[in-house]
Amino acid sequence: MKLMLVGFGVVGQGLVEILRDKRAELESRYGFRAQVVAVATRSKGTLYHPDGLNLDWLLDAAQRGSLALYPPVDGVIRDEGILTLIRRVEADVLVEVSPTNLHTGQPALSYCLAAFDSGKHVVLANKGPVAVGYDELLEHAGQAGKLLRFEGTVMAGTPSIRLAMQALRGCVIAEARGILNGTTNYILTQMESGMSYADALAQAQQLGYAEADPAGDVDGWDAAGKLLILARALFNIPLKMDDLEVKGISGISLDDVKAAQAAGERWKLIARITPEGGSVGPVRVPLSSPLAAVSGATNAVTYVTDLLGEVTLVGSGAGRLQTGFGLLSDLLDIHERTG
C-alpha cells in the first residue's frame, strides 16, 4: 500500500514510527506492506519518491525541523505545491494529519477531495474535514469508488468510531456521552495534584496531546468537533458547531479543583450528543461515577443503546502512537477490504 501523508507533526511521525517498528509483524500477521511515497507539509517542505522514502531518514529530517534535510538521493522530488503533489503522486491512500481547522475544515478538506478525485482512499486523524465536510467527502469518495476512514479523529486509536459504525450495527444508539478531550482531562488531573493550569497545559503540549493551537482544546471546541463527527457516525445527522452548547475549562481554578475534591467530586469536561443536539462543558462528577476514574489523557465514551443498554469504552484519547494506531487500524481495514 503506497501512502502519501499530508502533515507531518506528532501524529504523522507516530504512524511512520509504527510502520517502521512493526514492519515484520504487520507483514506476517496481515500480509500488510506499506510504503510512504510522499510527505507534504506547509512548514517543513515536501518530499516524493515514487519508489518510497526511507522512514529513518524521513523521521530524522522532520525531527531536525525540515524535510530539506532528507539526503539528496536519486529520484527524490522536493517542494511541490501540496495540491499538485496530491494529484500527481501514485499512491493508494492519502493520510491527512495536518493541523485541524474546525470552522472550515480547510485546507485539508480540499486535499481530501483532490485525493478522491485522483483515485486514492482517504484516512484522517484531522477532525476538521470530517466535522464540517462529511457530505462532500462521502460524495467524492462514492464517485471515485474509494473509502473514507477517520477512526483517529475521536479518542485517538481507541475504536469509538468502529464500535459505533460496525460492532454496534443492529442497535439503535440514542445518546453518546463522555470525556472526549485528552488535553483538558490531563490538565484537570494534574491540577488535582496541585499543579498550576499553565504548567499542566505546557506538559500536555510537550506530550503531544494538545492541538497546534491549544485554545481549541481548553475552550471545548476540540470535544465539540468530535461530537459533530459522532453525530454523523451514530445518527447520520449534519449538526453544526452553532447547534452545540460549548464551554471549556479555562475558567476552572486550583481553588475550584480543591473545592470539588473536598466534596468528594472531580471536575470533568463532559461531552454529550443526541439526535436533538449536544453540549460540552465542565461538570463536577461524584467519585462514585465511572467517569471520575478516567484520568490523564485517557478518554471514555458511553453509548446508550436499545438492545445492550449502556456500552462504555475507555482508552487513550490523544498521543503520538495512540493516534498513529488509529490511522494504522484504518489502513489495515482498507487493506482487508480491497486487498
Judged by CB under 6 A, which stretch of 74-82, 206-214, 245-253, 307-315 contacts ligand HSE?
Answer: 206-214
In the complex with ligand HSE, the residue whose CB is nearer, 184 or 302, is 184
Three-state DSSP class for residue 303: strand
Judged by CB under 6 A, which stretch of 101-109, 177-185, 255-263, 307-315 contacts ligand HSE?
Answer: 177-185
The binder of ligand HSE chosen from 80, 96, 222, 265 (CB under 6 A): 222
Considering the rule CB under 6 A, would residue 210 count as an interface residue with ligand HSE?
yes
Please name every residue paired with 35 in a beta bridge, in sequence order, or none if there are none. 2
Task: Please provide residue 22's backbone torsions phi and psi, each rounded to the nearest 5 degrees.
Answer: -110, 20
Judged by CB under 6 A, which stretch of 157-165, 181-189, 247-255, 325-333 contacts ligand HSE?
Answer: 181-189
User: How many H helices and E strands in the chain?
Assistant: 13, 13
Considering the rule CB under 6 A, would residue 318 count as an interface residue with ligand HSE?
yes
Instruction: Please enumerate in sequence order all residues whose Cβ is within 8 A of that of 45, keeping only pairs 6 or more positions apart, or say none.
Output: 66, 67, 68, 78, 79
Q: Are 312 and 301 in contact (CB under 8 A)?
A: yes
Give the shortest CB-74-to-ligand HSE separation in angstroms: 38
Considering the rule CB under 6 A, would residue 317 count as an interface residue with ligand HSE?
yes
**E-only strand ranges, the chain:** 2-6, 35-40, 46-48, 77-78, 93-96, 121-124, 148-149, 173-179, 244-246, 265-274, 277-286, 298-305, 309-316
Verify whether residue 226 is a known catalytic residue: yes
The count of chain residues that interact with ligand HSE, using the rule CB under 6 A, is: 11
Considering the rule CB under 6 A, would residue 41 count as an interface residue with ligand HSE?
no
Considering the rule CB under 6 A, would residue 209 count as an interface residue with ligand HSE?
yes
Considering the rule CB under 6 A, would residue 249 count as an interface residue with ligand HSE?
no
Buried b vs exposed e over 20-59: b needs ≥16 C-beta within 10 Å?
Answer: eeeeeebeeeeebebbbbbbbbeebbbbbbeeebbbebbb
Considering the rule CB under 6 A, would residue 211 count as an interface residue with ligand HSE?
yes
Q: Are 158 and 317 in contact (CB under 8 A)?
A: yes
In the complex with ligand HSE, the residue whose CB is nearer, 181 or 189, is 181
Three-state DSSP class for residue 283: strand
Q: Of the listed 120, 226, 247, 258, which one is catalytic? A: 226
Considering the rule CB under 6 A, would residue 183 count as an interface residue with ligand HSE?
yes
The binder of ligand HSE chosen from 181, 279, 302, 316 (CB under 6 A): 181
Q: Which residues are catalytic?
A: 226
Q: Which residues bind ligand HSE (CB under 6 A)?
A: 156, 181-183, 209-211, 217, 222, 317-318
